[in-house]
Chains A and B, each alone.
Chain A
Amino acid sequence: MLQNNTTTESPLAPIISVRSLWKIFGSNQDEIVNADEGDTDKSEVLQESGDVIALNDVSFDVFPGETFVVMGLSGSGKSTLVRCLLRLIEPSSGEININDDDILLYDAAKLREFRRNEMAMVFQHFGLLPHRNVIDNAAYGLELKGIDKDERYEIAKHMLEKVGLDGWEEARTSELSGGMQQRVGLARALTVDPTILLMDEPFSGLDPLIRRQMREELADLQAELQKTIVFITHDLDEAVTIGDRIAIMRDGRITQLGTPEEIITNPADDFIKEFTRDISQTRVLSVQSIASDLEQVFETTARVSEIIEGMEDTGKEFAFIVDNDNKLLGFIDKEAIEAAGNDAPLKDMDLSVIEPIHESTVIEDVVQLTLDNPYPIPIVDDENILTGLATHDAILQAFAENALQQQSN
């Protein structure tokens, strides 16, 4: 059942590695877990006892620094899953390896240390302490660790500034709006400087405008802090926006696991397809997927006359100049090259700078660039090597196809 069509395998070792995790609410845990797949006994046991399978043989890996989204509707087991990662709910069987250590084997003291240092959680309903003010809430994790007051206040104050709550340290949490309360929740999680941040539908309780703003701020924070994030949501739109990889859950199983692009372009079943319908492909497809072949690319050793010839042949009034490793150096248009004259050596010419886009950029993000720019936009990889061109036509076509597809749905 598990479709692991991950293409972007990280070269790093996974920081979280979950192996055949089961959680059954009820009294017949062993019988159900030990029954074979498709065994009739299992459904019989379930029917007779009224037990519920919340997690059904769940396995996945999360790599350091990535934002891993678990998406599912209510009852899909996603909340149970994230609580198992902290052992707020004890799984029935399976392995949860974090930093190569099975946390299910921890005793109470070790588990406490793990919770204090390695993982912190942000809750849907905030879970703030209403009898404490903002800074004492933010510093709660540090207080548990036994860090003295001055030091923990300093760290908490710093984190509150980061989430945009400076000046609110002394306020009661009940005086704050939902969005601000969740910022306190986020600050509380970040003050302990965890390796992994668990977020259980953190923005679901907020109104849409605030939700979007919080998402953007989270993205900024993530760019700065580079935490590993496990993010739970019931909203595929949210999942696609913030996730590096998404696991889609249904009835306690992971039904598809992949990048947003893989899930949108290639949904594993009708259920997922139904979700992806409202999401514009241009939001997940990278420019690489629409890149046209390289043309009008010349090395610095090329002669000017060669370039002019090329322009005349193709009717294109531009040229990209690369070095001999195919790294993008710059751009030149017809006017400039004609002004220089036929025999001028290329390396002495002033190349105009054109900002390239990275190949993983999604199509939607280059629209403004195309509007500002009459020429195709160069696409480069991590090494600044030119890999393709994003033409106006290709971008327009992507949007048009998407619109047609959504209409036909």
Chain B
Amino acid sequence: MATENPNETDNNISKISKIRINKWLVYAGVGGIALIISFILRQVDLEVFLKFPLDVEFPVKSRMNDGLDWLVINGAWFFDGISYQIKVWLGRLKDFLIWLPWPVFSGLVLLLAWRIGGRKIVLLAITALLYIGVMHLWESAMVTVAIMIVSVSISIMFGIPIGILGSRSDRFDRILRPILDGMQTMPSFVYLVPGIMFFGLGNVSAVIATVLYSIPPCIRLTNLGIRQVDSQVIEAGTAFGSNRMQLLTKVQIPLAIPTIMAGINQTVMMALAMSTIAAMVGAGGLGQDVLLSMGQLDQGGAFLAGMGIVLMAIVIDRITQGYIESSQSSSGTTNRE
């Protein structure tokens, strides 16, 4: 239609650009007026305008600190219990991984890479394993792997059920969303201090901080994956008399698996990113190597250990991505009309 009347399209374009210019003029005007007012207020020099007249910072801050103190003292039985469990399991896992001779561990990793990812990823895994071995990072790497396994397991254990709840109740989702936003934007160091207060220095605080930092993508993508399931398939499932549980376990979760897996992949990546920061509260592993080297102004050592983390991240990412792809093609979600 537009081609029949080129004048009309020209008109439309000029109209649109005119509107755009007007909008920019308005922005510039508002900015200009704000500057002029600021200038005048500075000249007048009234204290009310130059400094906030009210200050509640101190009471809020001290209340929060008091509250935390109270929790630390009165919740000790609870936090100590969790702390003990994590410490025991993490310790066993770490000892076991270090005890495993390197050829066995490498063999298992390569087998996994080959089964899921194919030749390319095997080559990548060989490079990473060689690097870690040659650079004397093996034991640190095993400690990092142990921390990863424990914290990612906890993230999944809580993240998937919370994500499912979020997908089923819009109200819960509305409450959840700002909390997750907060968790993801809060600087990760902030998690460390309460970690130390509740769980003491060491691996447990590191695990808790890592879980807090890495759980949001798992929750979000589980929620999203279930909400995204084709409404026609859900309708069909309902039409044959599925109850809510059957719909969830037989239709929604199986179809959401690729998205949930993408969430787990993100969780692993974020957990690895946290490993250096977690080393500040006494988590061992590659992160600690980076930190110690930096403290001794040994830039080379810091770089080598950091490289180890990067290689590990790449290998884990490729293997999980490979798994997501294979689960997608087998569930047929990619080639539906």
**A residues neighboring B (CB under 8 Å):** 86, 88, 112-117, 120-121, 123, 125-131, 140-141, 143-145, 172-174, 188, 192
Complex A-B: 17 CB contacts under 8 Å: A88-B235, A88-B238, A114-B241, A121-B236, A123-B232, A123-B236, A129-B237, A129-B250, A129-B255, A130-B332, A130-B336, A131-B254, A131-B331, A141-B240, A144-B241, A174-B332, A192-B240
Determine which of B236, B241, B254, B332 lies in contact with A112 in the assembled complex, contact meaning CB atoms within 8 Å. Answer: B241
Are B242's CB and A127's CB within 8 A? Answer: no
In the complex, which residues of chain A have a beta carbon less than 8 angstroms from the beta carbon of B243?
Answer: 112
* Cβ distance A13 to chain B, nearest Cβ, rounded Å: 25
Are B239's CB and A144's CB within 8 A? Answer: no
- Tally of contacts, chain A with chain B, CB under 8 A: 74
Given contacts A127-B235, A129-B251, contact A144 B330 (CB under 8 A): no
Known: A115-B239, A127-B232, A130-B255. 12 other contacts (CB 8 A): A112-B242, A115-B240, A120-B239, A123-B235, A125-B337, A127-B236, A131-B254, A131-B255, A131-B331, A140-B240, A145-B241, A188-B240
Beta-carbon contacts under 8 Å, B284-337 to A: 330-333, 335-337
In the complex, which residues of chain A have a beta carbon less than 8 angstroms from the beta carbon of B233?
Answer: 127-130
A128, A141, A173, A174 pick with most chain B CB within 10 angstroms: A174
C-alpha spacing A141/B246, complex, angstroms: 11
In the complex, which residues of chain A have a beta carbon less than 8 angstroms from the beta carbon of B332?
Answer: 130-131, 172-174
Are A174's CB and B254's CB within 8 A? Answer: no
C-alpha spacing A188/B332, complex, angstroms: 19
Q: How many residues of B contact A (CB 8 A)?
A: 24
C-alpha spacing A86/B237, complex, angstroms: 12
Are B331's CB and A130's CB within 8 A? Answer: yes
Beta-carbon contacts under 8 Å, B233-271 to A: 233, 235-243, 246, 250-251, 254-255, 257
With both beta carbons as reference points, the residue of chain B lying nearest to A86 in the complex is identified as: B239
In the complex, which residues of chain B have a beta carbon less than 8 angstroms from the beta carbon of A125?
Answer: 232, 337
Determine which of B240, B254, B257, B336 lies in contact with A116 in the assembled complex, contact meaning CB atoms within 8 Å. Answer: B240
Closest 10 CB pairs of A and B: A127-B236, A174-B332, A116-B241, A130-B332, A115-B241, A131-B331, A141-B240, A131-B254, A121-B239, A112-B241
Are A128's CB and B236's CB within 8 A? Answer: yes
* Cβ distance B245 to chain A, nearest Cβ, rounded Å: 11
With both beta carbons as reference points, the residue of chain A lying nearest to B253 in the complex is identified as: A131
**B residues neighboring A (CB under 8 Å):** 232-233, 235-243, 246, 250-251, 254-255, 257, 330-333, 335-337
* Cβ distance A115 to chain B, nearest Cβ, rounded Å: 4
C-alpha spacing A143/B331, complex, angstroms: 19
C-alpha spacing A192/B236, complex, angstroms: 14
Determine which of A126, A144, A173 lies in contact with B246 in the assembled complex, contact meaning CB atoms within 8 Å. Answer: A144
With both beta carbons as reference points, the residue of chain B lying nearest to A109 in the complex is identified as: B243
C-alpha spacing A188/B237, complex, angstroms: 11
C-alpha spacing A141/B235, complex, angstroms: 13
* Cβ distance B130 to chain A, nearest Cβ, rounded Å: 38
In the complex, which residues of chain A have a beta carbon less than 8 angstroms from the beta carbon of B237?
Answer: 127, 129, 140
In the complex, which residues of chain B have a beta carbon less than 8 angstroms from the beta carbon of A140?
Answer: 237, 240, 250
* Cβ distance B106 to chain A, nearest Cβ, rounded Å: 34
In the complex, which residues of chain B have a beta carbon less than 8 angstroms from the beta carbon of A141?
Answer: 240-241
With both beta carbons as reference points, the residue of chain B lying nearest to A132 in the complex is identified as: B254
C-alpha spacing A391/B124, complex, angstroms: 85
* Cβ distance B56 to chain A, nearest Cβ, rounded Å: 43
* Cβ distance A83 to chain B, nearest Cβ, rounded Å: 8
In the complex, which residues of chain A have a beta carbon less than 8 angstroms from the beta carbon of B251?
Answer: 129
In the complex, which residues of chain B have a beta carbon less than 8 angstroms from the beta carbon of A127?
Answer: 232-233, 235-237, 239
Given contacts A88-B235, A173-B332, contact A120 B240 (CB under 8 A): yes
In the complex, which residues of chain B have a beta carbon less than 8 angstroms from the beta carbon of A88?
Answer: 235, 238-239
In the complex, which residues of chain B have a beta carbon less than 8 angstroms from the beta carbon of A121?
Answer: 236, 239-240
C-alpha spacing A135/B163, complex, angstroms: 31
With both beta carbons as reference points, the residue of chain B lying nearest to A189 in the complex is identified as: B240
Are B236's CB and A174's CB within 8 A? Answer: no
* Cβ distance B235 to chain A, nearest Cβ, rounded Å: 6
C-alpha spacing A172/B251, complex, angstroms: 15
In the complex, which residues of chain B have a beta carbon less than 8 angstroms from the beta carbon of A174?
Answer: 332, 335-336
C-alpha spacing A125/B234, complex, angstroms: 12
With both beta carbons as reference points, the residue of chain A lying nearest to B243 in the complex is identified as: A112
C-alpha spacing A405/B241, complex, angstroms: 49
* Cβ distance B162 to chain A, nearest Cβ, rounded Å: 23
B235, B237, B336 pick with most chain A CB within 10 angstroms: B235
In the complex, which residues of chain B have a beta carbon less than 8 angstroms from the beta carbon of A131?
Answer: 254-255, 257, 330-332
* Cβ distance B324 to chain A, nearest Cβ, rounded Å: 14
* Cβ distance A206 to chain B, nearest Cβ, rounded Å: 12
* Cβ distance A214 to chain B, nearest Cβ, rounded Å: 18
In the complex, which residues of chain A have a beta carbon less than 8 angstroms from the beta carbon of B331?
Answer: 130-131
Determine which of B242, B254, B333, B335 lies in contact with A144 in the assembled complex, contact meaning CB atoms within 8 Å. Answer: B242
In the complex, which residues of chain A have a beta carbon less than 8 angstroms from the beta carbon of B335?
Answer: 174
